[in-house]
Amino acid sequence: MGCALDAILPQQCFACGAGSGGGVLCDDCRAELPGRGRARCPVCAIEQHQGLICGACLSAQPPFDASRAAFDYAFPTDRMVQALKYAHRLSLSRLFVELMAEAPCPQADLVVPMPLHPARLRLRGFNQAAELARPLAAAWGIPLRLDGIVRDLDTHPQAALPWKARAGNVRGAFRVRGSVEGLRVVVVDDVMTTGETLAELARTLKAVGAASVENRIVARTPAPG
């Protein structure tokens, strides 16, 4: 049935416009997604030779313990993330989940999505991190808590701020609902740029007893240069 529908309703590749059958991307563009399969720092997921811990994480350990990113935040992944968030292209979340699930299953007790402030959630209509976290938690066989984190501050978008201002922008933004005492927590999000938002959430989780915090993200912004 799927092949018949593909023939009747052919789909164009999001990246190059060529025919892609029933997929979001054609096979060539899917194979060439930026950063896919590259060695990364196991703590902050920045591209790093041989997958060693990067110098920044060695000199100042972030509040989180580990991070995995499926891709770099570069074309076409950046446009795909934006289309999911702002144009409700939910088919992209299915592709992201499929490719994120290729990584080893996290050793964890709880999955939580990066939350949106209620005002932004009403404006957007859905939380893209929750759309990723729900099927990932099911695939991993790890309990999911969709309302486990509350975002109390409607902060300015991090991408609009200078890098040095981003830590202060999210300070005190989160509140944990329910106990995470002794739990290994996985946070699911779409993009990691400086990591300040994920760091503040990890700091908040550990302050109320989380044993460890690992980030699973769609895309990591490459290091400058």
Residues β-bridged to residue 217: 69, 189
Arithmetic mean of pLDDT, 154-168: 55
Residues β-bridged to residue 151: 174
Label the pairing between strands 149-151 and 174-176.
Answer: antiparallel
Q: Is 166 domain-assigned?
A: yes
Q: Are both 156 and 59 inside the same structural domain?
A: yes
**Does 15 score more than 90 pLDDT?**
yes
Q: Are both 23 and 87 inside the same structural domain?
A: no
CATH at 149: 3.40.50
The total of structural domains in the chain comes to 2
Say which residues have a Cβ less than 8 Å from residue 123's Cβ, sequence separation at least 6.
Answer: none
Q: What digits encode the pLDDT tens for the residues 79-134?
A: 999 999 999 998 899 999 999 999 999 999 999 999 999 998 898 999 999 999 99
In the chain, the N- to C-terminal Cα span, in Å, equals: 47
Is the CB of residue 103 less than 8 Å from the CB of residue 180? no
Q: Are both 80 and 20 inside the same structural domain?
A: no
Alpha-carbon Rg for the chain, nearest whole angstrom, is 18
> For residue 27, how far is the Cα from the chain centroid?
23
Q: Are both 96 and 141 inside the same structural domain?
A: yes
Q: Are both 168 and 95 inside the same structural domain?
A: yes
Full residue range of the structural domain in which residue 6 is found: 1-32
Q: Are both 14 and 77 inside the same structural domain?
A: no
Tokens representing residue 161 in the block = 């701020």
Q: What is the pTM of this model?
A: 0.88
Q: Are both 26 and 57 inside the same structural domain?
A: no
Q: Are both 27 and 66 inside the same structural domain?
A: no
Q: Are both 187 and 84 inside the same structural domain?
A: yes
Q: Is 225 domain-assigned?
A: no
